Structure 1
Amino acid sequence: MPTGVAMRDARRQLFDAAERILLRDGPHALTSRAVTTEAGCAKGVLHRHFADFDAFLAELVLDRIARLDGRSAALRAAAGTGTVVGNLAAALTELFDAVAVSIVGLVIFRDDLRARLRAAGSTGVPLLTEATAMVASYLTAERDHGRLAPDADVETLAPTLIGAAHLLFADRTSAPPDASAVRRLVITVVGVGG
């Protein structure tokens, strides 16, 4: 491995390398050696920036969760525009890209990683919990706009949408579901048309 080569934003390069591995080979292939090899750096670089590999993985997941903030704000801002089904279908499709699906598998598979994420304040299944909050916030805004029934149970609809969408997108070996399948899921769960 190269040594003495300056890396710009080593953390970002390591995260990007981990995401490429997740896309190409899945969560089972994610090791410290695989990440540093993919990033083109010595293994010591990872350990200079993170206490150990589980700390790296926790930061990788937290980085992905932090990206939801922008998505959540954009989705809330879409309330009252377009269609509820279209807005949710687009948000779910963007949310459940192959990397996110792999990260959920990684979190479920690694007990130590879940423990670290819980210690950092994440609850439930990290990433899915935050995605549920994002969808609940949007559904609440749509209910306030009168585009959902006044008695719509947002606290049940949001996790139902996230769980059903996760199952729809979870098969890493097949092509992602088409737009019509995602729209059908949203229509079925939320009970609104088009």
Structure 2
Amino acid sequence: MIENQRSVVVVDYDLSWPATFEALRAPVWAAVRDIAVAVEHVGSTAVPGLAAKPIIDMDVVVASADRMPEAIQRLATLGYGHRGNLGIEDREAFKSPPELPAHHLYVCLQGSTALANHLALRDFLRSEPASVLQYSRIKQLLAARFPEDIDSYIAGKTDFILSVLRRMGLGDSELKTIGDANTLPPRL
């Protein structure tokens, strides 16, 4: 488990990541299944063959904003600490329980730009092996250049991400929102 999730460590794809996701997903889904529509494995660990930070990303998808407070409450019973939206509209972030494998958990509104970003990037990369290699190389170079600067690492990936999202049909407004979010001032 990575202690400091602000450090940037990119490793080769690990075949155990899907099983780790499923183990993390099971109790989350049990807690929210009557108020959520899905729990999605997103981020780089959700793409076979993609180099990644060894941190699972999960999105709990809710159909309406009025479901978010209840989802936040229920996730708290599992030890997840609510951190707010961290500047991303229609997405709530959580600190994961320290005894679990490293992961990021979000509650996202169905149809939101935040969720579209995660799903479109994941789905594109799952279908484009050449892009997986290209993105892996970008991430490895950025991790070597910015090993203690997660914000510069994220900003460095933004052009690639936006080019993929443009190809996947996201509009200019959505792309601007995502680009702006990836270049926010440093997060605490």
Same fold by TM-score greater than 0.5: no
TM-score, with length taken from structure 2: 0.29
The structure where strand makes up a greater share of residues is 2
More helix by share: 1
Give the number of the structure whose alpha-carbon radius of gyration is greater.
Answer: 1
> TM-score with structure 1 length normalisation?
0.29
